[in-house]
Structure 1
Amino acid sequence: MYRNKTFNRKKVMIVFVAVFFIMMFLIGRLVYLMIFCSEYYGNKAENLHERERDIKAARGKLLDANGTVLATNKSVCTISVIHNQIEEPEKVIEMLVRELGIPEETARKRVEKVSSIERVKTNVAKETGDAIRAYGLSGVKVDEDYKRYYPYGTLASKVLGFTGADNQGILGLEVKYDEYLQGTNGKILTLTDARGIEIENAGESRLEPVNGYDLCLSLDYNIQMYCEQAAKKVCTKKSADSVSVIVMNPQNGELMAMVNYPEFDLNNPFTLAGDTGEAVSAEEKQNLLNKMWRNQCISDTYEPGSTFKIITAAAALEEGVVKLDDAFFCPGYKIVEDRRIRCARTTGHGAETFETGIMNSCNPVFMELGERLGAENFVGYFKQFGLLSKTNIDLPGEAGTIMHKTENIGPVELATISFGQSFQITPIQLVTTVSSIINGGTRVTPHFGVSVQDADGNTAKTFSDETHENICTAETSETMRYLLEKVVSEGTGKNAKIEGFSIGGKTATSQTLPRSDHKYISSFLGFAPADNPQVLVLVVINNPQGIYYGGTIAAPVAKEIFENILPYLDK
């Protein structure tokens, strides 16, 4: 009997101790939740009775060099419904079908879906949004929103780029400077009861949006228009595949224009240019869109041809392997190993100096310069001039130079490289490298972005771009400016000559791969004034029909551009 009592007391004590510790744990937990976590759970409770809607921030504008608005915003509306607040669902469905033009099935699905808020349609015209608001139907919300709008449609489409449905940048400058342009959305907070219905007279709190910064560009609307008109004209006349034009200040890298004709409509970027209405697969359409959006000036590489002779000549002058009066002889070709490599003039130029050789764009002269430099030295100048690195232009999608490895450059490769074949660069790379050769020896970074400013015009940030000094000597730069002015005034570039203006430049005609297709690229690179370059223009015509020589069809286009922009810039 005594044992049973002792045993029972022990059991009672164990239970008591267990209950005591459980109670202490629960009390401690309660104190922790009520005191230390009160703010956290208070916020959670508050959030259960708050409904949050975004107030969209206005995206910053894109402004040209003169303040012309190239991209802005249109006021649109987002239409939403809140299931728990709808009192007359059939009237709401009927209204949505009538005003938004959506199928009844879609409207009914949105209205009957039980959720805190259901978006019905975005990018609705403001007039339609106002009309929906005027119905005064419970549970229907009309929120102000913005849609990107481009006043000039196709102007500089592959440079400016466009935004998606969420107003975030997708292409071009819109995506490159998205962090400055997009701003910060605001909020509308409304109180609801346990059923999710807004409490009358409870009011609403607002967190106002912060609009994005405006982006100030070096691109000039007028110069871009001049260039686009010239590109369209020659593309149509020569039935070319495309025409690219770059206009840049070689002293600081500011880009005044960049044309990739044909352009596309920025306000309808997902509509294929020349769409015939034929059904295509989703994958094929995306490929066609990517091709339409592609910026050839920065993303496509090509064999530059004779415009590259500027770089070969500068390397030879820097290395001291040639002087202006050095004598050469051109029989119309040069034998390199087992290959006969022709000059553009198959009958030959005969006896000539280095100066007349560059004026004649004579291939044998430049093959001789390549031989004097040697493969290792030549590749060294590629590095020195920055050709083996990207330009770091402020646009996405830049391609790099495609070049032989030094150990793979034999006599034939060296000869063809010297006059701009058997390797590939982008148009923007050519423009940037030539700029450094003619501006005194400073490699600049090509760019469109200059600064960002707030809505009141106050500058928030000015962009600085990297430069590299001593790419070549001032003497080499001066000599190259002299030689390239001779090319235009007396040589192959005479079709770009303008009375009263000093123009320097170089023509080029290169063949695309495979050679058997007999497709050509005609180009001209020019700058003015020749003694102190302030404007550099590159024209590239892809696959022109009929006569395809750069001096015949590309140089006149550059001349037309110069005739428009030099008086405009007062150069």
Structure 2
Amino acid sequence: MEKRFDRKTVQDKLKQSLNRRINIIFLIITALIMLLILKVGYLQLIKGETYAAQIAAVENVEINNSVPRGRIFDRNGVPLVTNSSQKSIMYTRDRVTSQSELLDISKKLTNYIKMPIDNITERDKKDFWIISNRDKVEERMQKELDLFKDGSLSQQEYDQALLKKITNKDLESISDDELQQLAIFRIINGASELAPVEVKGEDVTEEEYATVSQNLDELPGVSTSMDWDRVYPQGDVLKTIFGKVSSKEEGLPKDLLDYYMARGYERNDRVGKSFLEEQYELTLSGKKTKMRYVTDKSGKIKSTEVIEPGQRGDDLVLTIDIKFQKKLEEIVEKHLKKLQKMDEEWSEEPIMDRAFIVVQDPRNGDILAMVGKIIDEDGNVSDYAYGTYQTQYMLGSSVKGATVLTAYQNNDLKVGQEIVDEGLKFKGRTSLMTSFFNPTGSKYPMDDREALQRSSNIYMYKLGLKAMGLNYSYNMGLPLDVSEASEDFQKGFHQFGLGVETQIDLPNESKGYQPKLEGNFAAIQLLQATIGQHYSYTPMQATQYVSSIANDGYRLRPHIVKEVRSATNNDELGPIKRNVEGTILNRIDNSNKEFKQVQNGFLDVYNKLYGTGYEYFAHKLPVTAAGKTGTAQRYIGKKNGEDQFVYNLTNVGYAPAENPVISFASIVPDTPMKPDRTFLPSHEIEAEMITEYFKLNKHLLPENSKGFTGEDEQSVKDGNDQLETINQN
């Protein structure tokens, strides 16, 4: 009885143990099933779209194709830069195209198009010979191939050895037909997968375009399309300022590759690479056409479709008046040729070779015209408009308005204050420092207004001494440390845009040259800076400076773009997308009374007897203008033991004197001075400019304007006749 009980107990225990094991296995299986269900659910519900997109990416690849750039117009809607369509042969490489297939496509294309071969290099020929002569390569390279296989030779060493074994005779064996094939192959072999490249985009004939289009079935990956190129309806006028666009061969600039690639550009995209085209690249480039390439699983292209049409770039409307720009270029060119002839007569070694003038609207910062011309020894004139903001020159007395206003700011001068113009003698210097109008240095008291009118150097020198905390006395010494005074002086000039960037909407602007004043001559250099010596500024900076005086103290950002217009599908300008307005950069820290005093001084320069601009501006203009002339002396070396100098002839001004609508700055560097202290008549440029501007814009003439006299009309005609005569000679 006891034994039966024990046997039953053992059986029960075995049964319970088995049941537990079965339950554990069942739980494990259930858990695995649940995990599987969760995983499948996760893949379908959470990651389903991701994997579907990856599958679709194998079969549907989106590519962006470039579109024509936006156009550029002048302020009146006259086209300056447009596009011309040109026929183009394109190729799109799929994912599995082999080099032998590329060779076959290249060979077939030679039956339909003729390629230029000038760009084929020796390395191109060697690579082509290698691909086309596999058997000969294997025969010549057997030894090197064995070394490469056993690791004794690297891939680079093998390739170099192979290139060395290709002889000139091998390269000469490439036929003319094969060179045509190579010209095509080198392009399509370098193409990225599914990224269209241009095989031929220039000089595609009607016959080539038609025959390729008719035979696309036997040319996999080849297509025909219409490309674009830049056209300049106004010829070379301002062409340097418009800038250039890269070719498809150039593609993206290497130094900006990451910048453009991050914005959806392809390596071979054409982009603006200088001046306006570069500055407004993102505006002009447009919206690319989005294409879908459908491929099979092997990577072969099955079909293409447009999924999002492109749109050419937006248009730019400039502040430039192209009619006025052209007229001003004629004026500058005429006088530059005239001045060159005079320079040759006056100088043993003439070096004058350029002239600049910038015209701006002081009310809003619009650049109405910017002219730079450079002339060679044979009298050939070329455009140098970018020199108006990228090159700098000493301005001479033209800066004296800024000197006086800075002295007001620093409490070194009061409106109407008299200072004696006289010869200055400093310790250690043998010669007197004098004003041009007072060469003997006799005592001549004058106020600030007359000092501007007669261009008193001594008045400005004494303001420079006050900036150093000094009053003049005969044979006085000058301090060595003028750092604080020069810093205050430069800060004052910076308010006008002299010595800082104007912030014009063009790339690579120069901010002029204001070196640190130190050493034994620092004090003298500071005095010279008060009359426009030692420091150099661009014509654009000079224009911003005088505009700030014309508009009662507002420094405006100059700009060459007036509006951005939305792209249209026709030749018409679209609606305004964005206005580019003249931003106020700063208000100059002077009172209205102080500005009025300087403006009156500028008025007297042009319109009062003994004013330095009286001869050119008092009686020859249709309006009353105001401004400040300048002459900066530049040392060029010694000759026969004597110092030799040339002179920058400068002028800043505005018109009409009341409520001005134009301001300007002109510079003719490196001109001679005759022994009788006569300078070249460069200010005729500005006088003619003012007359021509108001002839083109009679609606801007004030009610009390002088009008256009017969003499004015005749002088313009004589000037044009003179230009024609000079060109003929």
What TM-score bracket applies, with the shorter chain setting the length?
Answer: 0.7 to 0.9
- Structure 2's unaligned 5+ residue stretches are 1-24, 119-178, 248-268, 341-351, 469-484, 639-643, 702-729
Query: Offset of 1:562 from its aligned partner?
Result: 1.3
Aligned to 1:209: 310
Deviations 1:300-356 (A, max 9, x none): 22221111112113334554625547252334xx22343333543573374352344
- Equivalence for 2:697: 569
Which sits farther off after the overlay, 419-428 or 189-198? 189-198
Match of 1:124 among 182, 188, 202: 202
Please say if 1:493 is aligned against 2:613: yes
CA distance in 2, matches of 1:34, 1:191: 25
**Match of 1:267?**
none
Question: Mapping of 1:154-303 within 5 angstroms?
Answer: 154-165=236-247, 166-199=269-302, 204-239=305-340, 240-262=352-374, 295-303=386-394
- Alignment of 1:506 onto 2:628: yes
Q: Secondary structure at the match of 2:554?
A: coil
What residue identity is the alignment partner of 2:612?
A: T
Assess if the C-alpha contact under 8 Å between 1:299 and 1:398 holds in 2. Answer: yes
The Cα offsets for residues 468-509 of structure 1, whole Å up to 9 and x where unpaired, read as 335422222222222212212232213431244212122222
The alpha-carbon distance between structure 1 residues 348 and 179, as it changes in their structure 2 partners (threshold 3 A), is farther
Alpha carbons of 1:108 and 1:121: their partners in 2 closer, same or farther (altered >3 Å)?
A: closer
For residues 482 and 56 of structure 1, the distance between their equivalents in structure 2, rounded to whole angstroms, comes to 57
Check 1:63–1:117 CA distance in 2 against 1; reply closer, same or farther (3 A cut): closer
SS of residue matched to 1:411? helix
Residues 631 and 647, structure 2, Cα contact 8 Å, conserved in 1: yes
Is contact 2:289–2:306 with CA below 8 Å preserved after alignment?
no
Distance 1:381 1:87, change over 3 A: closer
In the alignment, structure 1 residue 524 sits paired with structure 2 residue 617: no
Alignment CA distance shift 1:413-1:182 (3 Å): same
State the SS of the aligned residue for 1:554. coil
**Whole-Å separation in 2 of the counterparts to 1:483 and 1:196:** 79
1:247–1:384 distance in 2 versus 1, CA, 3 Å: closer
What one-letter code is carried by the residue in structure 2 that aligns with 1:41?
A: Y
* 8 A Cα contact 2:422 2:434, kept in partner: no
State the AA in 2 paired with 1:124: E
Structure 2 residue 500 is the aligned partner of structure 1 residue 368: no
Determine the structure 1 residue equivalent to 2:425.
Answer: 335
* Structure 1 Cα separation of the partners of residues 326 and 408 of structure 2: 38
Q: Which amino acid aligns with 1:147?
A: D
**2: distance between equivalents of 1:118 and 1:55?**
8
Superposed CA deviations along residues 137-179 of structure 1, whole A, max 9, x for unmatched, are 3322123333232222322234322222234222222222222
TM-score relative to the length of structure 1: 0.80
RMSD: 3.9
1:321 corresponds to 2:413: yes
Q: Secondary structure at the match of 1:259?
A: strand
Match of 2:716 in 1: none
1:152 aligns with 2:242: no
**C-alpha distance 82-195 of structure 1, shift in aligned 2 (>3 A):** farther
The two structures have a TM-score, normalised by structure 2, of 0.64
How far off its partner does 1:419 sit? 0.6
Structure 1 residues 293 and 526: alpha-carbon distance in aligned structure 2, compared to 1, 3 A threshold: closer
Which residue is 2:601 aligned to? 483
Distance 1:567 1:324, change over 3 A: farther
* Contact 1:527/1:533 (8 A) holds in 2: yes
Q: What is the CA-CA distance between 1:220 and the residue it aligns to? A: 1.0
Say whether the 8 Å CA contact 2:554–2:587 is kept in structure 1. yes
Which residue is 2:575 aligned to?
Answer: 458
Matched with 1:7 is none
Contact 2:627-2:653 within 8 A present in 1 as well: yes
| 1:40 equivalent in alignment to 2:50 | yes
Q: Distance in 2 between matches of 1:148 and 1:27?
A: 62
8 A Cα contact 1:55 1:145, kept in partner: no
Post-superposition offset of 1:100:
6.1
CA deviations 1:380-438 (Å, max 9, x no partner) are: 52354454542212111122243355887953123111111122222222221222123
Task: Name the structure 2 match of 1:12.
Answer: none
Separation of aligned partners in 2, 1:562 and 1:385: 23
Q: Aligned pair in 2 of structure 1 residues 40, 124: CA closer, same or farther (>3 Å)? A: farther
1:31-74 alpha-carbon deviations (Å, 9 max, x no partner): 54454333223223323233555332332221211111111222
Give, in angstroms, the shift of residue 259 of structure 1.
1.6
Contact 1:55 1:188 in 2 (8 A): yes
**Deviation string, structure 1 residues 2-51 (Cα, Å, up to 9, x no partner):** xxxxxxxxxxxxx9999999999888666544543332232233232335
The match for 1:5 is none
In terms of Rg, which structure is larger? 2
Alpha-carbon distance between aligned partners in 2 of 1:500 and 1:569, rounded to the nearest angstrom: 12
Give the unaligned 5+ runs of structure 1: 1-14, 264-273, 275-290
Correspondence for 2:670 among 543, 546, 567: 543
User: Does the residue aligned with 2:425 lie in a helix, a strand or coil?
Assistant: strand
SS at match of 2:683: helix
Deviations 1:213-269 (CA, angstroms, capped at 9, x unpaired):
212221110121122222222333334332221001122211101122249xxxxxx
Q: Deviations over 1:181-215 (max 9, x none)?
A: 2211012223233344443xx66233111332212
Code of the residue aligned with 1:235 in structure 2: it is L
Structure 1 residue 558, shift from structure 2 partner: 0.8
Are 2:496 and 1:382 equivalent residues in the alignment? no
What SS class does the counterpart of residue 124 from structure 1 fall into? coil
Distance 1:92 1:295, change over 3 A: same
- Counterpart of 2:109 (choices 84, 93, 98) is 93
CA gap 1:203/1:525 in 2 versus in 1, 3 angstroms: closer
The 8 Å contact of residues 495 and 588 in structure 2, kept in 1 or not, is answered as no
1:266 aligned residue: none
In structure 2, do the counterparts of structure 1 residues 184 and 29 end up closer, same or farther at CA, with 3 Å as the change threshold? Answer: same
Structure 2 partner of 1:353: 446
How has the CA–CA distance of structure 1 residues 66 and 292 changed in structure 2, closer, same or farther, with 3 Å as cutoff?
A: closer
Contact persistence 1:80–1:117 (CA under 8 A): no
Contact kept in structure 1, 2:461 and 2:527, CA below 8 Å: yes
1:438–1:480 CA contact under 8 A, matched in 2: no
Change in 2 beyond 3 A, CA 1:550/1:500: farther
**Whole-Å Cα distance in 1 between the matches of residues 467 and 532 of structure 2?**
15
Is 2:508 the partner of 1:397? yes
Residues 184, 459 of structure 1: alpha-carbon distance in 2 compared, 3 angstrom cutoff: same
**1:302–1:425: 8 Å Cα contact kept in structure 2?**
yes
- 3-state SS of paired residue (1:180): helix
- Paired with 2:360 and 2:436, the residues of 1 have a C-alpha distance of 29
Letter in 2 for 1:94: T
Distance 1:112 1:178, change over 3 A: closer
Q: One-letter code of the match for 1:181?
A: L
CA distance, structure 2, for counterparts of residue 18 and residue 530 of structure 1: 98
Change beyond 3 A, Cα 1:405–1:118: closer
Matching residue's letter, 1:370: G
Paired residue total: 532
Kindly indicate whether the alpha-carbon contact (under 8 Å) linking 1:417 and 1:423 is maintained by their aligned counterparts in 2: yes
